[in-house]
Chain A
Amino acid sequence: MSEYRLEMRDVVKTFPGVKALDHAQLKLRPGTVHALMGENGAGKSTLMKCMFGIYHMDEGEVVYEGQKVQIKGPLDALNRGIAMVHQELQPIPERSIGENIYVGRYPTKRIGPIVTIDHEKMYQDAAAVLKEVHLNYDPKAKLGSLSVSQMQLVEIAKAVSADCKVLILDEPTSSLTAAEVEALFTIVHELRQKGVAIVYISHKMDEILRISDEVTIMRDGQYIGTWDAKGLTTDFIITKMVGRELSNLYPPRSNVPGEVVFEVEDFTSINPKSFRHASFQVRRGEILGVAGLVGAQRTELMEGLFGLRCHSAGKITYKGKELKINQPKQAIDSGIAMLTEDRRATGILGVLSIADNVSIASLNQYLIGGFMLDDGKIEQLVQDNVAKLSIKTPSSKTLIQSLSGGNQQKVLISRWLANDPDVFILDEPTRGIDVGAKYEIYCIIAELAKQGKSVIMISSEMSELIGMSDRIMVMCDGRVTGFIDGKDANQENIMALATQFE
C-alpha cells in the first residue's frame, strides 16, 4: 500500500488550440485536506475533471490505492469512492432533496419481477446522510425550496452519501455565508478524521491557510510544487501562483491618455450578489484593465453597462452627456462597442459568412434607396478589414465557424470598427487564442488607444493586464476594490485587491 490514496502523474490534456494541462501532478494522502491553487485558467478544474472522469486525459496516469486505474466517467468515479462537488451546481430544483442526493443510483427493491425505486429506503438514507453533515432539512422537500448556499451543502451531503474516499470540493464556499462556511469546515474536519482525502480548491487565502494540510500550486497547466501548509504565507503562495516573467510579449504603446470621456457612477445590479456601487472613469486614448478573480462580477458589470444586464441604480456619462442604456442597441447608438467574453455563445454567428458577421451591426450604413443592401459596399468593408487586421480567410463568403479563434476575434473587432465607436469594451479578448494571434490582437488594441478610443479590457491573465494597461481597475465580489497605475502594477498588489472579500 502506497502512502498516497490517489496519485495523478504527468497528466496532459489538450483542447483545440490550448494545452490545458501540461504534465500536471497531484498526490493525495488519506486523512488530509489538500489545497489546489492557481490563477484562473491554471488548470485546476480541468485536472479535477480528469480525476472525476468528466474529461479523458491525453497522457498520464491515475494511481488509486496503489493500483493504476482508468476512470471511465463520473459514475465509475463515484463507484470507486471519488466524489466531487462542482463549482457550478447541477441541481434538479423541481425534485426532492432525497432524489437529488440519490439521482442516478436510486436504491431499488423488487416486487415480483418488477424492479421499483425503494422510496422509503431512499428517504431514510437521505435523512441519515443529512444528519451526518448537520443539516436539518426534510429529505422530501423540494430542492428548489432551499437557497443556493443550502443547495451547495446538500451537494456536499450527496458526496458524503457516496461514502467517498476522495472528495473534491471545487470552490465550495463561493456562495456560502460565514456561518455556513463554518458548518462546511466542521464537515470537512470530520471527513478528514475518517481518513477521507480531500481536495480543496479556493481562491480565499485565509480559508486555505486555515483548513489545509498541504498545498499544491499550478500555473499554466503545469505543476509548480507541493508544500506543507504550515509556515506558508499568502505572499509566498501568490508569488508562486502568478510568478511569470514579463518579456516583450506586448507591443510598444504610444497612446496618450487625454481628458476623461466615459464615466460610470454608483452602477448597481438588480441582483444583490452581482456588481454594486461601481464607479470609474476612462480617459480618451486610455486602456483601462479590469482585474479580478472568477466571481468578481467584472463581466456582469460590463454587460450591464452595455445593456445586456439590468441595473437598479447608476449613471453613465459620455463626454458630459448622460446615457440611458437598457439594451445593446442603445449602447451601440451611443458609440459603445463590446467584445463579449464567450465568443461562441454571444459573438460569432457561426453558420453565417464573414461578410454577414462583419456587417451585421452596421447594415444601416450600406443602403440603396433606404431599403436595399449594397453588396458592393459590404464587400468593400470586408476587404478593407481583412487587409487592415490581416484576417486569414479564403473569401468573404467563408463561414466564420471555420476560422481559427484569433481570426474569429478579428472578424468581431471589424464588426465593431465598422460602427466607429469611441468606447471599446473588450472582455477577455485573447481567450482561447494562440500566442501569435494574441500579439496581433494586442497591436490592434494599442492602435485603437492611439487613435483616441477609450478601451476597457477585462482579462484574467495578470501579465496581459500589466503589459497592456495604462491603469488597472480591480474588482472583488461585485465591488471595485481599487485602481493601480499601469507602471506600478504587479501581481502582488493586484492579487491583494482582488482578494479583499468583505
Chain B
Amino acid sequence: MENKQLNAKAVKNFLSNNAIIILIFILALFVGFVADNFWTSNNFKNLVVNVSPRFIIACGVSGCLITKGTDLSAGRQVGLAACLAAMMLQSVDYAARALPWMPDLPWFAALLIVIPIMAVFGAINGCVIAFLKVPPFIATLGMQTIVYGLCSVVTGNDPLGGFKSSYSQVALGSLGPIPYLAIFAIVVGAYMLFLYNKTRHGKYMYAIGGNENAAQVAGVNVPATLIRIYVLASVLYAVAGFMVGAKAGGASTATGFGYELEAIAACTIGGVSTNGGVGKVGGILIGVLVFEILKICLQFLRVDPAYTFIAQGLVIIVAVALDLRKYLAKK
C-alpha cells in the first residue's frame, strides 16, 4: 500500500519535473498524425541542422546560468560573429565585397580569427561581473547593446552575402549522413561534457553556483572562474555565429536576434536551474531539441508566426516557474 503511494508520488514528481518535455512530446506525436511529411528524413535533418548552432549557444549560456548569472548578449554576439565571418568569407569575385582587400581565406582560418575577437567581449563581460560586481543581467544587457552597435558600425548596416562556396558548403555538406553542422555540435558537446564533469573548472563552476560564499571560503578563485565561463561562452557564440552565417547564406545586424532567450529557455527546460549549481550537458541538448520541435510543430500546424512567438514566450515562463517550484517546495 505504502509502496503504491510512493510510486504514485514518484510518477507525479516525474510528470511535474518534466511537464514541458512531456507535453511537447505529445504535441509532436499529435502533429505527426495530423500532418503529412512530419516523419520524413528531410524534416529530421532540418531539425538537426537547426538544433546544432542553438545547442552550442545554449552550452555557452549554461555556464552563466549555473553560476546564477545570465548572458543577454549571446544573441547579438552570435550576430556579430556571423557578420565578421561573412566579411572574411565573401567570394573574391563578388562585386559588393565589404572588405575588398581581404585575401582568399580558407573557412577555418576565418573561424580561428573570429574566435579570439569574440573572446574579448566575453572577457569584458566576465571582468565587469567578477570585479565590478555588476549584476550579470545588467552587465550583459549593456553588452548586448554595445555589440549590436559595433555590428552596425562594422557592417555599415549592409547585409552581407555572396559567400564563397567552401563556406556555404559548411552548412550544406555532410559526412555520410551526418551534416557538418552536427559535427560541430557533437565536438562542442563532448568538450562541454568533459569540461563540466572531469575538470577543476567544472567543479568550481558548480560550487560557485551552489554557494558562492562557501566556494570562496573553500579557496575557489571565484573571479577567475567567472571570467573563464564568460570567455568560453563568447568563444562558443563565435562558433555558433560562424555556423549560423553559413547556414543562412548571409549575415546582417539582425542575425542572432533573440537567440539568447531561446538559449536560456532551452537550458531551463533542460534542467539548468536559475537557482544555480545545477545543470547537465545532456539536459541542455534535450531542452534545445524540445524547443525546436515545438517550433517545427507549430509550423506544421500552420500557426501564424506571430502566435508562434506567443507560444514560445509562454513556454519560457512556464519552464522557469516549474523549475522554481521544485525549490520552493523543498523549503
Residues of A within 8 A of B (CB): 306, 308, 327-329, 332-333, 338, 340, 345-352, 356, 359-361, 363-364, 367, 371-373, 375, 415
Contacts and interface: CB of A to CB of B under 8 A. Distances in A.
Contact of A360 (B209, B215, B221, B277): B215
Given A356-B206, A356-B207, A371-B199, A349 B214 contact: yes
23 contacts: A308-B216, A328-B218, A328-B219, A329-B219, A329-B221, A332-B218, A345-B214, A346-B211, A348-B214, A349-B210, A349-B211, A349-B215, A350-B277, A356-B207, A360-B204, A360-B207, A360-B220, A361-B219, A363-B204, A372-B194, A372-B198, A373-B198, A375-B198
A332 B219 contact: yes
B12 interface: no
B213 interface: yes
Contacts of A349: 206-207, 210-211, 214-215, 277
A363 B203 contact: yes
B213 A346 contact: yes
Contacts of A345: 211, 213-214
A312 to B, nearest CB: 21
A37 B217 CA distance: 34
B194 to A, nearest CB: 8
Chain A CB within 10 Å, residue with most, of B194, B203, B204, B206: B203
Contacts of A356: 203, 206-207
Interface of B: 194, 198-200, 203-204, 206-207, 209-211, 213-221, 273, 275-278
Given A329-B219, A360-B207, A360-B218, A372 B213 contact: no
Contacts of A373: 198-200, 203
Main secondary structure of the interface of B (DSSP, over half): helix
A352 B277 contact: yes
B146 to A, nearest CB: 29
A347 B217 contact: yes
A308 B211 contact: no
Listed residue (A351, A356, A361, A415) with the most chain B CB atoms within 10 angstroms of its CB:
A351
Contacts of A332: 218-219
A363 B211 contact: no
B65 to A, nearest CB: 13
B296 to A, nearest CB: 34
Contacts of B273: 351
Nearest to A401: B330
Contacts of A347: 214, 217
Contacts of B218: 328, 332, 360-361, 415
A328 B216 contact: yes
Given A329-B221, A371-B199, A350 B206 contact: no
A490 B203 CA distance: 46
A359 B218 CA distance: 10
Nearest to B208: A349
Contacts of B204: 360, 363
A299 to B, nearest CB: 13
Contacts of B194: 372
A52 B294 CA distance: 52
A329 B222 CA distance: 10
A325 B273 CA distance: 35
B200 to A, nearest CB: 5
Contacts of A308: 216-217
A360 B208 CA distance: 11
Given A328-B218, A352-B277, 14 more contacts: A327-B216, A346-B211, A347-B217, A349-B215, A351-B276, A356-B203, A356-B206, A360-B220, A361-B219, A363-B203, A367-B200, A373-B198, A373-B199, A375-B198
Nearest to B273: A351
A16 to B, nearest CB: 12
B97 to A, nearest CB: 42
Contacts of B219: 328-329, 332-333, 361
Contacts of A364: 200
Contacts of A328: 216-219
Nearest to A348: B214
Contact of B217 (A338, A367, A375): A338
Contacts of B206: 349, 352, 356
Contacts of B217: 306, 308, 328, 338, 340, 346-347
Nearest to B218: A361
Contacts of A346: 211, 213-214, 217
A406 to B, nearest CB: 18
A351 B200 contact: no
Contact of B203 (A306, A327, A360): A360
A345 B277 CA distance: 15
A363 B277 contact: no
A55 B218 CA distance: 34
Given A328-B216, A373-B199, A351 B210 contact: yes
Interface centre among A306, A349, A350, by most chain B C-beta atoms within 10 angstroms, is: A349
Nearest to B211: A349
B213 A363 contact: no
A361 B204 CA distance: 9
A348 B275 CA distance: 15
A352 B277 CA distance: 7
Nearest to A355: B203
A371 B199 CA distance: 6
A359 B214 CA distance: 13
Given A328-B216, A360-B220, A361-B218, A372 B199 contact: yes
Contacts of B199: 371-373
Contacts of A371: 199-200
B26 to A, nearest CB: 30
A359 B203 contact: yes
B210 A363 contact: no
B210 A350 contact: yes
A496 B102 CA distance: 82
B207 A352 contact: yes
Nearest to A332: B219
B68 to A, nearest CB: 11
A359 B200 CA distance: 10
B211 A348 contact: yes
A332 B217 CA distance: 9
